[in-house]
């Protein structure tokens, strides 16, 4: 694995591209070398010795001895590390930091080992995608308006630092050096990024961006949701922001002393700027093109825009106007997979080139059995465990796979749970498109609807709302098995008042828009009941966000759970207590 040198002002994007081209020309060779290094560094660990590798480092022995695992299989080992066991359990070098997943998928955060090697791979991914991005959309000396938030770190029972994956990155000096080398320092002071109240931090991010309005070249966040949420907030507070700028006095809503002190150093009376912003806002039609209007030197909007972020693209394009939307790289709390080296592709078509030296990758071919008739024969993961995992360079264009990866932080043959499609190759490394999470399924009988299927159904029904100038603010779903037969429940938060007839029509459209053959046939014979649409009180998804932030999640890492399972009790309670109307679909054609 490439160990990054300390970044300096001589950082050259073309050198990074040259290195990437070299790494991907013989990805199979790099993969064997990467696995060898991982196993040589960690061969004497308790976990690898358990499987009898006996010092072997070749892929064939590794696959024959070490089993495929999920996070559940490793929890005991990881918690021993977090509790202070310093013996070589998963890695020979001590693990000093624990990353927490967002917790939105399973209802609670997962503990994941984090070390210097993972930080190196994070920076390598960032550098690689920036180099290709900067070739197409060059930026000069300027600033980035970054809606990023660091949650609190805490100490585990064994004294290890623990925080969200984004927090561990933002607090790392290597990250700050790399961002400076890329000529895109954040507008906001560190005190705002690391502030304890994200509502106050968000307000100050917006204020910082306005203060540096003529220097902002990039608007970004980890996820598209965070950018949309930020400018929805701007719609509510823009006049207050103008007052702050006009008078040079920070709003009384900012009560955190460290944030007030830092922002007061930036904020000076500037009535001319305040008047300009005020006129710009008054002149916009329904806030279309807000971002380039406020930040005329911005080159693009940047963040993760795939998977559960796709539903926010329509609103994000509304705010961005003609500015390009560039999707960020592909990874997870457990580690990184690939970089976006084709930045001109729209987010819906974005691909990620796997970096062959940041881990060892395997791919299980997706085997969906559409002939299944009995419910107990349905494979909840849609994947055939008998399928032989393929190596990085053995995958085929057009096929779908589940990713298995082995990294430098103690995860071996780890089932990430993501389904991807191979759409091409960059030299000899595959370019992937994210398809869905394999465990996020709506399924009752022989139906198998993914997160993407749910999104398409919601988009179809939302077109009916758009005719009345309304929109779906956010949505989620669950499978209700308390009825006989069971049925799908879709939760909507709508931007305004929709009439009963319109919502009934939307409910029917949601039902009719699931095109999965198993769902349609089951609905026709009533082995799946009528779809239920539950309309939520405004602000419900904000309450869900507040819940996760209260648990220690960072706002910039938040993803709305698209399918709420029984383990997500608190979210179910929030949803249930905020339903204002519900409708059932009628006859299924």
Alpha-carbon span 136 to 321, nearest angstrom: 19
Residues with Cβ within 8 Å of residue 376, at least 6 apart in sequence: none
Q: What is the 3-state secondary structure (H, E, C) of 148-178?
A: CCCCCCEECCCCCEEEEHHHHHHCCHHHHHH
Per run of 10 residues, the mean pLDDT along the chain (length 589 residues) is 44 87 94 94 91 90 92 90 87 84 60 84 89 90 87 75 70 67 79 88 95 94 90 94 95 94 94 95 92 95 88 92 93 88 92 95 74 34 61 94 92 91 95 80 77 87 88 89 86 89 90 84 83 91 82 67 79 90 81
Residue 406 · residue 412 · CB < 8 Å: yes
Torsion sign over Cα 243, 245, 249, 251: positive
Length of the chain: 589
DSSP assignment letter at 329: -
| pTM (predicted TM-score) | 0.80
The domain segmentation of the chain, as residue ranges, is 13-93+343-368+393-439, 138-323, 451-584
Q: Are 114 and 95 in contact (CB under 8 A)?
A: yes
Listed as own residue / partner, the contacts of 522-528 with beta carbons closer than 8 Å and 24 or more positions apart are: 522/444, 522/445, 522/446, 522/447, 523/588, 524/588, 526/485, 527/444, 527/445, 527/485, 528/444, 528/445, 528/447, 528/485, 528/486, 528/487, 528/488
Backbone φ and ψ of 223, nearest 5°: -120, 150
409 vs 95: CA distance, rounded Å: 8
d(CA 137, CA 323): 11
Give the integer Cα–Cα distance in Å for 439 and 381.
6
Asked if residue 361 lies in contact with residue 392, where contact means CB atoms within 8 angstroms, the answer is: yes
DSSP-derived secondary structure for 411-441 = --SEEEEEEEEEEEEETTEEEEEEEEETT-E
Q: Which residues of 115-149 are buried (b: 16+ CB within 10 A; e: fewer)?
A: bbbbbbbbbbbbbbbbbbbbeebebeebbbbbbbb
Pairing of strands 335-339, 352-354: antiparallel
Residue 238 confidence (pLDDT): 95
Give every CB contact of residue 308 below 8 A, 6+ residues apart in sequence.
451, 559, 560, 562
DSSP state of 286: T
Yes or no: say if 87 and 95 are a contact pair by the CB < 8 Å rule. Answer: no
Pure H helices in 284-390: 290-294, 313-320
Dihedral (CA of 206, 207, 212, 214) sign: positive
101 φ, ψ to 5°? Answer: -70, 170
Q: How far is CA 71 from CA 312, 556, 558, in A?
A: 29, 23, 20
- pLDDT at residue 183, rounded to an integer: 58
- What is the side-by-side strand order in the sheet with 487-494? 472-480, 487-494, 532-536, 579-584
Name the pairing type of β-strands 325-327 and 154-155: unpaired
- The pLDDT, as a whole number, for residue 3 is 38
Edge-first strand order for the sheet with 390-391 is 330-332, 335-339, 352-354, 429-437, 414-426, 400-406, 360-365, 390-391
Backbone angles phi, psi at 515, to 5 degrees: -95, 0
Closest by CA position to 587, among listed 530, 544, 545: 530
């Amino acid at each position: 694995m490439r160990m990054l040198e300390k970044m300096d002002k001589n950082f050259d994007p073309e050198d990074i591209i040259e290195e990437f081209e070299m790494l991907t020309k013989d990805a199979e060779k790099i993969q064997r070398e990467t696995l060898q290094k991982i196993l040589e560094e960690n061969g004497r660990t308790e976990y690898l010795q358990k499987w009898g590798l006996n010092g072997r480092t070749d892929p064939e022995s590794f696959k024959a001895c070490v089993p495929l695992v999920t996070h559940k299989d490793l929890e005991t080992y990881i918690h021993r590390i977090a509790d202070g066991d310093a013996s070589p359990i998963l890695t020979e070098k001590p693990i000093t930091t624990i990353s927490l997943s967002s917790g939105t998928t399973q209802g609670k955060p997962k503990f994941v080992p984090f070390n210097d090697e993972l930080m190196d791979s994070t920076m390598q991914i960032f550098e690689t995608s920036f180099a290709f991005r900067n070739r197409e959309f060059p930026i000069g000396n300027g600033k980035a308006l970054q809606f990023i938030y660091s949650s609190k770190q805490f100490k585990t029972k064994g004294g290890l630092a623990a925080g969200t994956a984004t927090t561990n990155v933002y607090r790392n000096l290597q990250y700050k050096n790399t961002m400076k080398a890329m000529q895109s320092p954040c507008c906001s002071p560190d005190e705002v990024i690391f502030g304890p109240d994200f509502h106050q931090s968000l307000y100050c991010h917006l204020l910082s961006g306005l203060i540096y309005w003529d220097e902002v070249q990039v608007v970004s966040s980890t996820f598209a949701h965070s950018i949309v949420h930020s400018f929805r907030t701007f719609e509510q507070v823009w006049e207050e922001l103008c007052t702050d700028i006009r008078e040079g006095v920070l709003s009384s809503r900012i009560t955190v002393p460290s944030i007030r002190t830092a922002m007061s150093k930036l904020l000076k009376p500037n009535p001319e700027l305040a008047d300009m912003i005020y006129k710009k806002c008054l002149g916009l039609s329904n806030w279309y093109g807000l971002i380039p209007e406020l930040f005329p030197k911005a080159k693009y909007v940047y963040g993760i825009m795939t998977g559960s972020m796709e539903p926010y693209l329509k609103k994000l394009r509304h705010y961005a106007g003609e500015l390009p939307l560039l999707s960020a790289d592909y990874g997870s709390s457990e580690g990184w997979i690939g970089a976006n080296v084709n930045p001109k592709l729209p987010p819906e078509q974005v691909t990620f080139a796997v970096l062959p030296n940041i881990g060892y990758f395997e791919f299980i071919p997706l085997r969906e059995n559409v002939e299944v008739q009995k419910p107990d024969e349905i494979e909840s993961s849609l994947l055939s465990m008998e399928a032989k995992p393929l190596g990085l360079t053995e995958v085929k264009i057009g096929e779908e796979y589940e990713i298995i990866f082995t990294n430098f932080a103690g995860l071996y043959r780890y089932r990430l749970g993501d389904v991807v499609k191979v759409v091409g190759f960059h030299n000899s490394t595959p370019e992937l498109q994210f398809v869905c999470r394999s465990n996020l399924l709506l399924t009752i009988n022989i139906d198998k609807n993914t997160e993407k299927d749910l999104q398409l159904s919601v988009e179809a029904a939302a077109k009916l709302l758009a005719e009345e100038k309304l929109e779906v603010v956010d949505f989620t779903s669950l499978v209700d098995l308390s009825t006989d037969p069971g049925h799908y429940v879709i939760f909507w938060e709508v931007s305004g008042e929709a009439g009963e007839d319109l919502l009934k029509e939307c409910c029917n459209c949601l039902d009719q828009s699931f095109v999965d053959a198993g769902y349609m046939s089951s609905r026709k014979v009533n082995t799946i009941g009528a779809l239920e649409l539950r309309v939520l009180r405004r602000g419900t998804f904000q309450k869900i966000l507040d819940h996760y932030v209260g648990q220690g999640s960072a706002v910039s890492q938040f993803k709305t759970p698209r399918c709420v399972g029984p383990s997500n009790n608190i979210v179910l309670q929030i949803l249930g207590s905020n339903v204002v109307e519900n409708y059932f679909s009628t006859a299924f054609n």
